Amino acid sequence: MPITIRSSRQWPSGCSVRALATAWRLGREWVALLAIGSLWGIACAGPKTTSIELFRLTPDGAANKAMQTRQFETPNSDELLSASAAVLQDLGFQVTESDRSVGFLRAAKERSAREYGQEIRRDIVAFLTLLLGAAGRANTMYVMPVDLHQQINASLIAQPIDDGDQRQTVRIVFYRLVWKGSGSSGNQSIPPGEQKMEMIRDATIYQQFFARLSKAVFLEAHKI
Amino acid sequence: MLEKSVCLATLTFLVALGLGACASPPEEPEALLAPTEEQMKIRNLQTRTFDIADRRIAMLGVIAALQDLGFIIERANEPLGLVTAARFAEPNYYDAVGITVTVRPLNEKQTTIRANAIFNNQPITDPEVYQNFFATLERSFFIGRN
């Protein structure tokens, strides 16, 4: 990575070899900074996924499909779709997208994503880095950004299984987007907005949804 | 004291610079709208014709195939024959792939299906990706009909 002239011009004058030499003398700060830097480095150099891998059927695909899918013995796909929308509304979702003819629904809800585990971990890391900083008489306290806000999404497809349209299958996928809150490293704050996505693989959430749906349409939900 | 803070700033800058090395350098922009032979090849890769008369049945097959591949259906529009879906890598969430599939009737008996996929906002030109997709799609049509 070449150092551009533009960025070196922004440095204050007099800070070059002399400043770096001082840095060597302040060994502890150096170590603390390196530790934080390498933590980031690990996150950056995580395993890379290729596009081909994302287009392969995976072994856990069948289990996921079974969890996300139920069959209903009814010819009325519209009723099933509107009941699904009603159940999602009951669960606090807002329907954001729909298409009747292919039996498609998408819904979202926004909630807080704060967890005790993360807050405790953040406090421990902050305390340890504070101690490290105190030993080196500098502010190296690292406050980890934690999950603050989440958007839970559902994507649902209700479609007939056979040509006779006597049975319908409903498949729903829940996933969430999580936004991390602001943390800080020493005197510098880490800007908020870091985001991650996660599939929801908790079977009970799917079971709850289908239990409500089968109640709503007065039909039994059959596992595939 | 001033020297010390300047020093910290320098070190933070160096760390940031090191992190910057992780990201790949931006590529030279190509002539964006010029048609090329490469484009024709990619278009051929992305397009398949199926012996299905009903567009809705074809769309349901596309949706089922995408779901089996672990995609989240984001948009579907039957009159336009359009399906948009996305998927992100697990368990690291840095890589994402998006796909747009268009289903159009070719004649009374056949339907043309075209898929455009992007990986981290870059178009996918790897033939294997599209081959995998269409293989799953064929399987989905086969299961759907039986």
- Taking an 8 Å cut-off on Cβ atoms, the answer to whether B132 and A23 are in contact is no
Which distant-in-sequence residues (6+ apart) come within 8 Å of A36 by Cβ? A129, A140, A142, A185, B15
B20:A1 CB<8 A = yes
Residues of A in contact with B92 (CB under 8 A): 46-47, 49
**Confidence bin at A14 (pLDDT 50/70/90):** very low
Q: What letter represents residue A215's amino acid?
A: K
Q: Which of A51, A151, A180 would best serve as a mutation to test chain B binding (most B beta carbons within 10 A)?
A: A51
Contacts of A27 in chain B (CB under 8 A): none
Predicted-complex ipTM score: 0.70
pLDDT, residue A212, reads 94
Task: Give the domain ranges of chain A.
Answer: 1-46, 60-223
Sequence-distant (6+) residues with CB within 8 A of B40 are: none
Domain membership flag for residue B118: yes
Helix (H, G, I), strand (E, B) or coil at A96: strand
Q: How far apart are CA B68 and CA A58, in angstroms?
A: 9
Give which of A26, A31, A36, A49 to mutate to test B binding, by max B Cβ within 10 Å.
A49
Q: Residue B105: enclosing H or E segment and its boundaries?
A: strand B96-105
> How many C-beta atoms lie closer than 10 Å to residue A163's C-beta?
9
Greater model confidence, B90 or B45: B45
Q: How far apart are CA A181 and CA A95, in angstroms?
A: 27
CB A206 within 8 A of CB A67: yes
Residues of B in contact with A185 (CB under 8 A): 12
pLDDT tens digits for B101-125? 999 999 999 999 999 999 988 889 8
- For A168-195, give one letter per residue: b (16+ CB within 10 A) or e: bbbbbbbbbbbbbbebebbeeebeeeee
Residue of chain A minimizing CA distance to B25: A1
Q: Which of A1-15, B80-94, B129-143 has the lowest mean pLDDT?
A: A1-15
Does B65 map to a domain?
yes
User: pLDDT-derived band of residue A166, with 50, 70 and 90 as boundaries?
Assistant: confident
Instruction: Indicate yes or no: CB of B67 within 8 angstroms of CB of A175.
Output: no
**Is B101 a member of any domain?**
yes
Domain CATH number, residue B126: 3.30.310.80
Residue B25 inside a domain? The answer is no
Each residue's pLDDT tens digit, A88-145: 999 999 999 999 989 999 999 998 888 888 888 888 988 888 888 888 877 888 888 8
**H or E element: which one contains A158?**
strand A147-160
Give the phi and the psi of residue B103 in degrees, each rounded to 5. -115, 115
CB contact under 8 A, A102 and B78: yes
At residue A150, φ and ψ (nearest 5 deg) are -140, 150
Distance from C-alpha of A22 to C-alpha of A167, rounded to nearest angstrom: 76
Least confident piece of the model among A9-13, B21-25, B77-81, B88-92: A9-13
Task: Check pLDDT > 70 for residue A172.
Answer: yes
Q: Is B58 on the interface with A (CB under 8 A)?
A: no
Tell me: pLDDT of A221 over 50.
Answer: yes
Residue B1 at interface with chain A, using a CB cutoff of 8 Å: no
Work out the percent of chain B whose per-residue pLDDT is above 70: 73
The Cα of A167 is separated from the nearest Cα of chain B by a number of Å equal to 13
Its domain, for residue B101, covers 46-146
pLDDT at A187: 79
Q: Give the DSSP H/E element, type plus range, for residue B65.
A: helix B55-68
Phi-psi label, residue A81: left if phi above 0, alpha if psi -120 to 50, beta otherwise: alpha
- Over residues A30-89, the pLDDT tens digits come to 555 555 555 554 444 456 778 888 888 888 888 999 999 999 988 888 889 999 999 999
In this structure, is residue B71 part of a structural domain? yes
Using a pLDDT cut of 90, give the percent of chain B over it. 50
In a domain, B126, yes or no: yes
pTM for the predicted model, two decimal places:
0.72
At A27 the pLDDT is 55
* CB spacing of A57 vs B69 below 8 angstroms: yes
Yes or no, beta carbons of B4 and A37 under 8 Å apart: no
**Tokens standing for A117?**
């585990």
- How many structural domains is chain B composed of? 1
What residue type is A44 in one-letter code? C
Is A41 in contact with B19 (Cβ distance < 8 A)?
yes
